[in-house]
Structure 1
Amino acid sequence: MKITRRHTLLLSPILLSLSIGSALADAPINLSHDAAPNVRVSITNIKGTVSVTAWDRNQVQVSGHLGDGARPLTIDGSNSNLVIKVQPQGSKSGWFNWNNDTAMASSTLDLRVPKGASLDVEVVSAPLGIDGIDGGDIKVSSVSGKVRINARTPSLTVNSVSGNLELAGRAERVSLQTVSGDILAPTVGSDAELQTVSGRIRVNGGPWKRVNLSTVSGDVVLTGALAPSGNVSIDSMSGDVQLQLPDSLSAAIHANSFSGDLRSDFGTPKKLEHGPGTELETSAGGGNGKISVETFSGDLRIRKGE
């Protein structure tokens, strides 16, 4: 078929709209803002990925690409408090406008921030990675994305629904909550609040001043030492629990399981005289601290470590 000038005129608007749509679907991001060494950076992304890497500059830099249907991205605020938020075009606050977010394509945010920065991050279906923060506190809210954090921080708070939480570095105080995701934290400091429904918990650290851990069906492995007069409290419904404690432990130990198997290298568990269940009441060392573990149907092991 011979293409006439008339055909060209008819096709031009269509080709133009397709090229514009393609450009909008992958709009590059190249933003920067001067920042204080201890700047607080708030980051929000609904879809896509978020990666935050610390560097030695007093500047926040954002690269990546912005998904189709998103407003132009800006860095708002002052040098001490910056906000970076991916928002759908024409969005308004309120529950009746939540569907605007579903029409927005995925956005990728790659950030560089000062090492001493504090972070407030909100993601929905966006995996999150944080590397190199040293000194600032970190708060994360996530729905379905995996959260991976490698940082030295005095305070770490993560609330997640179905994504796994993987931590490296060291967090002195942590509050980690997930519904079905696993919590893997090899270096937790003195204070820990850990909650999950069906995810596994693997935590190592201490010496602990306070650990409060609860799970419904997820298995738990907790390894580490207790600080003088420290307190560890664990509550499990059907998940198995294993505590790995040093020979030098000094604590009063109370453990109880309704129908699970209870075994301990500290003291001897006994069957309850009235009703089902097994209980352990013993003291290790000077008995300065306190360890309390209760399970319903999950097995419980309290072991001596090296």
Structure 2
Amino acid sequence: MKSVVLMARVLALGWLLGSLSVLAQEIRQPIERNGRVKVLCQVGEVTVTGGDEAVLTVTTDGNPSMVKVKQLADGAYGISVDPPMMPHRLRITVPREASLQEVRTRNANVTVRAVAAANVTTVSGGVLVEQVPGPVNVATTSGRVRLTEVGTVQLRTVSGDTQVQAVTGSVMVSAVSGKLEASHIGGDLTAQLVSGNASIRCSRGRVDVSTFSGEVRLSRLENEVVVETTSGNVFFVGALTPVKRCTINALSGDIRLAVPETCGFEMRFRSFSGALKSDFPVDGTSTGVSVPDTEPPSGPGVPLPPRHGRFVTWRHRDGAAKVLLSTLSGTVSFVRADPEAEPPCHQP
């Protein structure tokens, strides 16, 4: 009986000490509302959330004595784990006006919400940033990245997949093999890719994409479009407007444009040995075209049969939008599209 009572007391004491440990895991530090914060956590998980208090709060499920919070020489507040490779799950709260000057991890996942700005560097950890009205800079090797409701974006990745949406300003992406999905971009978008695929939809600014072998899909764009590719295919869906100049250069990749009948455009096609197929009749002039053996059909509404040549130009309707398509050996297809086929742009 005594052994049972003793065991019960030991368990109760362990539960009490465990509760005290949990309560002691929160660290609070007064901070300026527009303060700057740096976080170093190599392994585990980091979540930073903006709040209403002018306080820096850190909660961890690990040993709280390993978490160091101090003001650095440059005035920023540093949060680190010592030893650095000890896994920790950090929950950090800062004022909404504060900036994450740096969050650096190795494979720890990072989540940032409702702060003024964020700068995140990781090797393989995933990154989620949302509701940040200022600039967001992310650098990763293979981590998956998702950015939504942010001000501007600068992103560098090697092989990590990236999803960017609801950006009020500009977007700059540099990637080797990661897949890029971007939608609802308010400013200009520039993407430099090697073999990664890119899907860009509902962008109001200029879109400039360069890739070696990745596939590029574009739809519902409202401004100038420039695409440079070596062997990747390019697909464009949507209206061509007078303010939009569309330039697509492909060495051996195929190009396919699907635009509504109501669009007016002036199209210029340059090629060495590539083919041109068009649902739109040629109403303008043709230069340097190899004429087929049989006389092609003509008249309103008759599509252009496949042609091979160096230079073809024609106008459709008022010719307001300017389109320049060039390829060395690829095939260019210019087809009619149902304007209602592509879903409209709705803010996510």
Q: Normalised by the size of structure 1, how large is the TM-score?
A: 0.67
Deviation at 1:64, TM superposition (A): 9.5
Aligned to 1:113: 114
| Alignment CA distance shift 1:46-1:123 (3 Å) | farther
8 Å CA contact retained: 1:237, 1:296: yes
The more displaced of 187-196 and 64-73 is: 64-73
Structure 1: distance between partners of 2:272 and 2:60: 53
Higher relative contact order (CA 8 A, sep 6+): 1
8 Å CA contact retained: 2:247, 2:324: yes
1:81-109 alpha-carbon deviations (Å, 9 max, x no partner): 4312326xxxxxxxxxxxxxxxxx52221
Deviation at 1:220, TM superposition (A): 0.6
Query: Quick one: which amino acid aligns to residue 129 of structure 1?
Result: R
Deviation at 1:183, TM superposition (A): 0.1
Aligned to 2:188: 173
Aligned to 1:258: 272
The more displaced of 262-271 and 147-156 is: 262-271
Q: If you compute each CA radius of gyration, which structure gives the higher value, 1 or 2?
A: 2
1:190-240 alpha-carbon deviations (Å, 9 max, x no partner): 4110111111001112232x1111111111101122332421111001111
1:279 to 297, 311, 314: 311
Aligned to 2:320: 288
Please show how residues 144-293 of structure 1 align to structure 2 within 5 Å. 144-208=159-223, 210-268=224-282, 272=288, 277-293=309-325
Query: Quick one: which amino acid aligns to residue 229 of structure 2?
Result: T
Aligned to 1:25: none
DSSP-derived class of the 1:117 partner: strand
DSSP-derived class of the 1:137 partner: strand
Deviation at 1:110, TM superposition (A): 1.7
Query: Quick one: which amino acid aligns to residue 194 of structure 2?
Result: V
Please show how residues 10-25 of structure 1 align to structure 2 within 5 Å. none
| Alignment CA distance shift 1:75-1:56 (3 Å) | closer
Query: Quick one: which amino acid aligns to residue 109 of structure 2?
Result: T
Structure 2: distance between partners of 1:111 and 1:62: 14
The more displaced of 163-172 and 214-223 is: 163-172
1:244-300 alpha-carbon deviations (Å, 9 max, x no partner): 1222222221012322221112334968358x7253211122122311000111110
8 Å CA contact retained: 1:61, 1:111: no
| Alignment CA distance shift 1:270-1:159 (3 Å) | same
Aligned to 2:100: 82
Query: Quick one: which amino acid aligns to residue 288 of structure 2?
Result: L
8 Å CA contact retained: 1:228, 1:289: yes
Deviation at 1:154, TM superposition (A): 2.5
Deviation at 1:242, TM superposition (A): 0.5
Where do 5+ consecutive residues of structure 2 fail to align? Answer: 1-24, 62-80, 116-130, 291-307, 339-348
8 Å CA contact retained: 2:43, 2:86: no
Deviation at 1:43, TM superposition (A): 9.6
Structure 2: distance between partners of 1:64 and 1:182: 38
8 Å CA contact retained: 2:203, 2:222: no
DSSP-derived class of the 1:125 partner: coil
8 Å CA contact retained: 1:62, 1:109: no
8 Å CA contact retained: 1:40, 1:118: no
Query: Quick one: which amino acid aligns to residue 103 of structure 2?
Result: K
Query: Quick one: which amino acid aligns to residue 120 of structure 1?
Result: N
Aligned to 1:15: none
Structure 1: distance between partners of 2:309 and 2:86: 57
Alignment size in residue pairs = 255
8 Å CA contact retained: 2:50, 2:93: no
| Alignment CA distance shift 1:297-1:259 (3 Å) | same
Aligned to 2:126: none
Structure in which a larger fraction of residues adopt strand: 1
Structure 2: distance between partners of 1:282 and 1:191: 25
Q: Normalised by the size of structure 2, how large is the TM-score?
A: 0.60
Structure 1: distance between partners of 2:269 and 2:40: 43
Where do 5+ consecutive residues of structure 1 fail to align? Answer: 1-27, 88-104
8 Å CA contact retained: 1:230, 1:290: yes
